[in-house]
Structure 1
Amino acid sequence: MRRQFPRPSLGGGLDDPGDLRQQGEPMAVTVQTVFVADGTLLGARLSPALASAVLYYLREQQASVALEELRRFAALVELEGDQMPAMLRFPWDLIGHCGEQIVRDLPLFSARLPNVQGDDPQLVTRGRHVYIAESARLDGPIVLDARDGPVIIDEGAQIEPFSFIQGPAYIGPNSLIASARIRGETSIGPTCRIGGEVEASIVQGFSNKHHDGFLGHSWLGEWVNIGAMTTNSDLKNNYGSVRIVLEGLGQLDSGVLKLGCFLADHVKLGIGLHLNGGTVIGTGSNIFGIHSAPKTIPPFTWGGDVFREYRIESMIDVARKVMARRKRSLSPEYEALLRAVLVSRAPVVAIGSIHASRRARRNNAGVRPRSQPCATSPSARPCSQKRSPAAGGSM
């Protein structure tokens, strides 16, 4: 069956570890070098004096002068072929390159982590590139499938029974995989708790999706908590490319068939919430008590039936409690950054206006509402029915 329907292999195959080490070799870069590809400036290594001059002109919105300075004093290097780096223009590009980057990073992990072959009947390994830290704890039965990419389990990670991990996949230090299905091209950061099914996603450190539910082709920031049975869609029923709204750019066609959600730092989602493909939820938002979330939610949004601004003092108080549970503290600099996000965010009232316009269209079409809905109710529940936040689970 595998001969007839071979799975694609990232990085040109995984038969020889030497092949992997040849990928992503660092280039010898001299000072005063500018890298371009197809006319696009990718990066530069400059002396402090030239870098200061270029930054000055850029701050003064004199890009043409900055470019002229680079042409005069720096060598231009055109990158092509194997030299081309991953081009990350949009957030979903991170997801698209995740699996490939795990393959490229394998030499860094294989240099310090033991290679494990499955002679334990409780630990089934497929493929040669399974690397497990000695301090990791694995309780079988477990299947680690490295045929399509490496499986890397870092220091102190814990894999509970009946877990399936398909490579390329990385499980960060001290993270817990709770009898979950982790499909390929997934990277889990440090001190996370992951259950249910996860596919082709990036989860930053200290985030939890401990219970059943699907997370696919998505990106989670730090300190995110997803309640039980909350699930995202990553594929449209018409198999069209997913559209997404980005701040400052408006609605964009991602150009990709599969795209899930983007949850910023300290987002909290209640139980049983459904997220459409291309959903973006801003920093610090706490969403609960509704069936389907809007696709775009500004930072510091609180509620479900009715959306309000999440009071910054309350949000920071919760953040301190959550971080203390992981023996971390909220630094003054981090707190200042959160407050800066609050100042710069879009108004929460924008969410209410979207749902109000939907209700207006429905009413104009002759659909009679069940009762007078709340002012910003996405599900048109009567105002007399109030909800409290549903427990999200395990943060």
Structure 2
Amino acid sequence: MNYILFDGPARTQLLPFTFTRPVADIRIGILTIREKWERYLDATTSTVTEDYLSEKFPMIEMEENIMINASFIPNLKLAELVMDLKENQALFHGDHMVAFSTKDTQDDIDFTTYEHLDYNEETLYIEHTWDIFSKNDLAIRADFELLTEGRKSQPIPSSNNVLDTHQIFIEEGAKLEFTTLNATSGPIYIGKDAEVMEGSIIRGPFALCDHATVKLGAKIYGPTTVGPHSKVGGEVNNSVIFGYSNKGHDGFLGNAVIGEWCNLGADTNNSNLKNNYAEVKLWSYQTENFAKTGLQFCGLMMGDHSKCGINTMFNTGTVVGVSANIFGSGFPRNFIPSFSWGGYSGFSTYLTKKAFEVAEVVMKRRDIDFSEIDKNILEAVFDLTKKWRKDAS
């Protein structure tokens, strides 16, 4: 069977992260949503997404296809129901469509002719940006079981101070000495060729993905995910870093989501709690206004390729778009549009020519080419976000 992950109705609410990727390629827990589905289905997947993303994330359509809403995080039971779908059957969880099976092309589907099946058990559904960190605890636990079932961890070096060893899994090539790992509150996963440097203190649930690094003396509270090839230091609490991003120095990051190719300068801090303990509101690209989150703790949302200078201070509930460059003293505004250059004193437009020069250098350091496809995606994001930059000048 051919499986296709589609963005679904939550795509706009997951901006700025879905400006540069399909919903399926959001990381939550240890794996991306796509990687989870492919493991449960034992099959590769393709994608239905925005036109400007489709060259990098193409759709492969065959005679028979099962379409899956990528906002749903799979579990074994859900994956089995999806695999069992017959032609013109659709699986629902409440009002949300999970998946459907079809031989029709995308333009010809008539859901009034479909048999509706219900899935009523609890499942993870990613609808808002803040779901990525607020549901990361459950996602790490599920991925930990998925990745470690029937496998044996590499031995934990004796220099480490460890609590609850059966909840700790070390992949091949990982390095850690003279650290404290406390898994009594949740599992700790250390990925292939990752490193936890001396003096670091980690409380689970925690995921350090392949080739990622925890710097000397870091303090990390779960549930936190550090994506592949990322570097993290200082104090981190309940945050998700997608990959290839750096928070290499002291400073606090809490209740936050950081995209790919981001860099937080030394002593960057974000507030995750308002002084009056009130509910945090967060910029919504869907309503073009600030939306209630229902959360008391909510920090920073930063899209791909964004950077900030040393001593940057982000207020509670700040949203930074794609490829923004923030610097200077004082708190910048709570919504910083994509391709903005500046800080508390105001912003100007960060022209793509300059932004692309930086992206090329940053990616080359990790032996990855900044391709024409990548440029085209960022050019499209630049055009899509023009209207918000006017307000930021």
In which range does the TM-score fall when normalised by the shorter chain?
A: 0.7 to 0.9
CA apart distance, 1:275: 0.7
Q: How do 1:7-86 and structure 2 match up within 5 A?
A: 24-25=76-77, 26-28=79-81, 29-31=84-86, 32-38=88-94, 40-49=95-104, 51-54=106-109, 69-72=110-113, 74-80=114-120, 83-86=121-124
Structure with the higher fraction of residues in strand conformation? 2
How far apart are the structure 2 equivalents of 1:296 and 1:183?
Answer: 26
2:250 is equivalent to residue 197 of structure 1:
no
1:193–1:44 distance in 2 versus 1, CA, 3 Å: same
Aligned-pair distance for 1:127? 4.6
The sequence identity of aligned pairs, in percent, is: 29
Superposed CA deviations along residues 45-101 of structure 1, whole A, max 9, x for unmatched, are 2223165423xxxxxxxxxxxxxx3232x2212222xx2321222111121111101
Q: Which protein, 1 or 2, shows the higher relative CO under an 8 Å CA cutoff with sep ≥ 6?
A: 2
2:382 equivalent to 1:349: no
What SS is found at the alignment partner of 2:130?
Answer: helix
Instruction: Report if the CA contact (8 A) 1:147-1:167 is conserved.
Output: yes
Quick one: which of 372, 379, 387 aligns to 1:339? Answer: 379
Q: Distance in 2 between the 1:227 and 1:193 partners?
A: 12
- Is 1:228 aligned with 2:286? no
Q: Deviations over 1:299-322 (max 9, x none)?
A: 001123341100110000100000
Aligned to 1:266, the other structure's residue is in SS state coil
The partner residue of 1:172 within 209, 215, 226 is 209
**Secondary structure, in 3 states, of the residue corresponding to 2:233?**
strand
TM-score (norm 2): 0.75
Provide the residue aligned with 2:14 in structure 1. Answer: none
2:135 corresponds to 1:94: no
- Of residues 213-222 and 247-256 in structure 1, the stretch that sits farther from structure 2 once superposed is 247-256
Instruction: Classify 1:169/1:211 alpha carbon distance in 2 versus 1 (closer, same or farther; 3 Å).
Output: same
Secondary structure of residue in 2 paired with 1:165: strand
CA shift at 1:185, angstroms?
1.1
Which runs of 5 or more residues in structure 2 are unaligned? 1-28, 30-39, 41-73
Partner of 1:384: none
CA 1:311–1:118: 2 relative to 1, 3 Å: closer
Counterpart CA distance in 2 for 1:308 and 1:119 is 51
Q: Pairwise mapping of residues 138-177 of structure 1 onto structure 2 (< 5 A)?
A: 138-140=176-178, 142-177=179-214
Deviates more, 1:124-133 or 1:253-262: 124-133
Q: Does 1:297 align with 2:353?
A: no
Amino acid at match of 2:242: Q
Q: Structure 1 length normalisation: TM-score?
A: 0.75
Partner of 1:126: 164
Amino acid in structure 2 at the alignment position of 1:98 = N
Question: By how many angstroms is 1:347 displaced?
Answer: 4.0
> Is the 1:114–1:133 Cα contact (8 Å) retained in structure 2?
no
How many aligned positions are there? 314
User: 1:174-202 deviations in whole A, cap 9, x for unaligned?
Assistant: 11100211111111110001000111111
Q: Does 1:284 align with 2:323?
A: yes
2:163/2:184 contact within 8 Å kept: no
Cα RMSD of the aligned pairs, angstroms, is 2.2
Q: Does the aligned pair in 1 maintain the 2:154–2:171 contact within 8 Å? A: no
Structure with bigger gyration radius? 1
Is the partner of 2:166 in helix, strand or coil?
coil
Distance 1:258 1:296 in 2: 17
- Measured at CA, do residues 104 and 122 of structure 1 come closer, stay the same or move farther in structure 2, by a change above 3 Å? closer
For the residues of structure 2 that align with 1:113 and 1:331, how far apart are their CA atoms? 38
1:217 aligns with 2:255: yes
d(CA) in 2 for partners of 1:311, 1:245? 23
2-structure distance, mates of 1:198, 1:163 = 11
Residue type of the partner of 2:187?
Answer: P
Matches of 1:203 and 1:53, distance apart in 2: 39
Whole-Å Cα distance in 1 between the matches of residues 231 and 336 of structure 2?
Answer: 25
- Please give the alpha-carbon distance, in whole angstroms, between the structure 2 residues aligned to 1:118 and 1:287: 40
8 Å Cα contact 1:117/1:128 also seen in 2? no
Gaps of at least 5 residues in structure 1 are 1-9, 11-20, 55-68, 353-395
Amino acid at match of 2:112: R
Q: C-alpha distance in 1, partners of 2:157/2:228? A: 28
